[in-house]
Amino acid sequence: MNNPLLSGTVQEKIQWYIRAHGHSSIGGLNLMWTYFTYQKQQELADIVEKTIEEFESFDQSDDVNHQIKHIKIELNMIEKNIDYVPIEPEKKTELQKILHGIYENIDRIEDIILDPGCEGKFYLEDILDSAIMELLNRYPQTLYGDLIGDKNQDESIKIHFDKHGSSRKLVVCGYEMQLLFYNLVSNAIDAIQELDDPSGIISILFDYKKEFVHVEIVNTGKQITSDVLNKIQSKKSFSTRGAHHGNGLQITYDIGEKYDANITVESNEGQTIFSLDIPYTD
């Protein structure tokens, strides 16, 4: 059975994206609604409640552009008024981070609409670089190192990138491969942040071999439990990040299967390694 994210219509791709990533947006908006209602900011709370309804009905909308326009207007109103909500500064910071994540989801949906077809020849380094830039928006003041620079070095996770062999362009869908890297590195960041000391190293390796490129993404974060590893190995629907997250890792495996990329994972105390071999098709 084909995965609509990879081969379906624009509408089907949006439906899959919302199912995979919409839960965190709705949960964040619910938290905002609770804070705003508690503080009797009823007008703003009503806007948040309306935005929740928009998100929950998103994949049933015939006019996706119209839906996005409305949600963006509502998010803009929330953002402009959030400073006036009388809550503790740390809670306000938390809500602003949530709002940033919701904007990110909307931007991703717009990308799907604007570029539903994406097959082409790409350097994997360029695709990885785009994924890292997106992650910098999601995790501000968190990452430094190769591909980024050292500006956040004092309080952050280091990205280490290494390459063996000569780079080759691969015939892939740039959007899909970017989503694959984005999900794997995002999982690595979250695994590190679950530790008492939320600093660590993410090592990314591209090894260009004769018939395929071998990719490794290694993190020094929290170990994946045996239960989740079993789900990964059995290809069931799963997430390494708990019930409040989507199925980003499952979608990553679906993308890998499209390109005959063998994805493996091993995890122990100290490091987790995701490996994939992407065959050359040209």
Q: Are 245 and 236 in contact (CB under 8 A)?
A: no
Last residue of a domain, one of 88, 114, 140: 114
Position 270, amino acid: G
For range 152-171, the mean pLDDT: 83
CA distance 280 to 170: 6
**∠ CA 116-179-118, rounded to 5°:** 30
* Domain at 164, CATH number: 3.30.565.10
CA distance 217 to 180: 11
pLDDT at 87: 79
CA distance 118 to 112: 10
Residues 132, 264, single domain; the answer is: yes
pLDDT above 60 for 11: yes
pLDDT at 272: 92
Residues 12, 123, single domain; the answer is: no
Residues 10, 62, single domain; the answer is: yes
Position 215, amino acid: V
Q: Which long-range contacts (CB under 8 A, 24 or more apart) does 19-23 make?
A: 19/59, 19/246, 19/247, 20/246, 20/247, 20/248, 20/250, 20/251, 21/105, 21/108, 21/246, 21/248, 22/55, 22/56, 22/58, 22/105, 22/246, 23/244, 23/245, 23/246
pLDDT at 242: 47
Residues 183, 50, single domain; the answer is: no
Last residue of a domain, one of 114, 134, 156: 114
CA distance 155 to 124: 28
Which of 56-65, 160-169, 185-194, 246-255 is predicted least confidently? 56-65
Residues 82, 163, single domain; the answer is: no
Task: Give the highest mean pLDDT range of 104-118, 205-219, 260-274.
Answer: 205-219
Q: Which of 172, 220, 156, 160 is nearest to 192 (CA)?
A: 220
Residues 244, 144, single domain; the answer is: yes
Residues 127, 262, single domain; the answer is: yes
Domain count, the chain: 2
Q: Which residue has the higher pLDDT, 30 or 271?
A: 271
The widest CA-to-CA distance across the chain, in whole angstroms, is: 64
pLDDT at 164: 94
Residues 153, 108, single domain; the answer is: no
Give the confidence band of 244 by pLDDT, cuts at 50, 70, 90: very low
Residue 3's Cβ-side half-sphere holds a number of Cα atoms within 13 Å equal to 18
Q: Which residue has the higher pLDDT, 11 or 185?
A: 185
Please name the residues in contact with 188: beta carbons below 8 A apart, sequence gap of 6 or more.
202, 217, 218, 219, 221, 272, 274
* Domain at 46, CATH number: 1.20.120
pLDDT at 215: 96
Domain of residue 233: give its range: 119-279
pLDDT, tens digit (0-9, with 9 covering 90-100), for 91-113? 888 888 888 878 877 777 776 66
Give the confidence band of 40 by pLDDT, cuts at 50, 70, 90: low
Helix, strand, coil content of the chain in percent (nearest 5): 55, 20, 25
Residues 177, 269, single domain; the answer is: yes
Of how many residues is the chain composed? 282
For the chain, the average pLDDT equals 78
- Cα end-to-end distance, the chain, whole Å: 26
CA distance 167 to 178: 17
Within 10 A of 252 (CB to CB), how many other CB atoms are there? 24
User: What ranges make up the beta strands (E) of the chain?
Assistant: 119-123, 143-145, 157-164, 169-173, 201-208, 212-219, 262-268, 271-279
For range 204-227, the mean pLDDT: 92
Residues 150, 108, single domain; the answer is: no
The position carrying tokens 């990964």 is 232
CA distance 260 to 254: 10
Residues 55, 184, single domain; the answer is: no
pTM summary value: 0.62
Within 10 A of 267 (CB to CB), how many other CB atoms are there? 21
Give the confidence band of 1 by pLDDT, cuts at 50, 70, 90: very low
Residues 105, 125, single domain; the answer is: no
Last residue of a domain, one of 98, 114, 130: 114
Q: Which residue has the higher pLDDT, 78 or 10?
A: 78
